[in-house]
Amino acid sequence: MQLSNRVAFVTGAGSGIGRAGAFAMAVQGARVVVSDLDGQAARAVADAILAAGGQAEALALDVTDDDALAAAITGAAAWHGRLDVLHSHAGIQIPGTLEQVTAAQMDASWALNVRSHFVAAQAAMSVMKPQGSGSIILTASNSGVQYDREMIAYCTTKHAVIAMAKQIAVDYARYGVRCNALCPGFVDTRFNAGFEVQMGGRAGLESYIAGSIPMQRFGTADEIAQSIVYLASDQSSFMTGHALVIDGAESL
């Protein structure tokens, strides 16, 4: 197993890609702290991992609460005696152009898509640097390597988190801590509800997917989960500061 005796902390793990990644890491032997704003959803994911013979615990956690986020990560590390993987995943998509998005909505996007990754990575680093090892995965998006139509808050913040991952990578490689950005394309989760509205409904979204993605389909959360295991494990031991794009060639 790729992650035996490793401890992983995941935010936004109650649904979608975060849930699939938490499950996939547990299948590879990791002890996974499943955190989510929705404590019941986190509990359900942890219970499913336990039922499948894995190791997990659940935590209700709002990543926009700096103190709670940092305390949850350092507390989990103290409880388990180590922290090997941080997958900082929770994010928000507020659609709109420069004239449509309010400053308050830009702040909300920044708080979740950039600031929470900073606070989480800082807390994880306080454990990983003295430990001399660790893998930090920050969820960005392929919207961090391209420019979507009418998505100023999302594209700006997703570009920023890739820059943050690269900066952490160059500063902490010497301490044995890697940091990479996970950049999924369209994955069929409830996360795309806002874009679906922009597209005029489900049929509009599906027609957009078929027409704009060379593979002509959504990715699945399980397909992204395999990349999470890859970044979390020693399979990617010489990879740091990378923006791993998994998007059916949409961004090309």
Closest to ligand NAD by CB, 41 vs 127, is 41
Classify residue 201 by burial, with Cβ atoms within 10 Å: 0-12, 13-18, 19+: exposed
Structure tokens at 35: 């955190």
Q: Count the Cβ atoms, other than its own, within 10 Å of residue 188.
A: 15
CA 2 to chain centre: 19
- The single residue among 54, 91, 241, 248 that binds ligand NAD, judged by CB under 6 A, is 91
Q: In the annotation, is 230 catalytic?
A: no
Query: Which of 132, 190, 237, 238 is in the footprint of ligand NAD by CB under 6 A?
Result: 190
Q: Looking at the DSSP assignment, which residues form a beta bridge with residue 183?
A: 245
**Percentage helix, strand, coil, to 5, in the chain?**
50, 15, 30
Told to check if 88 binds ligand NAD by CB under 6 A, we report no
Token pair 């992204």 is found at 224
Closest approach, Cβ 133 to ligand NAD, in A, equals 25
Count of positions on this chain that bind ligand NAD (CB under 6 A): 28
Nearer to ligand NAD, 54 or 184 (CB): 184
Report the C-alpha gap between 186 and 24 in whole angstroms: 19
Nearer to ligand NAD, 4 or 216 (CB): 216
State which residue, 37 or 125, has the beta carbon closest to ligand NAD.
37
Residue 168 parent element (H or E): helix 152-172
Q: How far is the CB of 67 from ligand NAD (least distance, A)?
A: 14
What tokens does 34 get?
A: 């499943």
Least distance in angstroms from the C-beta of 29 to ligand NAD: 23
Residues that bind ligand NAD in the complex, under the rule CB under 6 A: 11-12, 14-18, 36-38, 41, 61-64, 89-91, 112, 139, 141, 184, 186-187, 189-192
Residues with catalytic function: 154
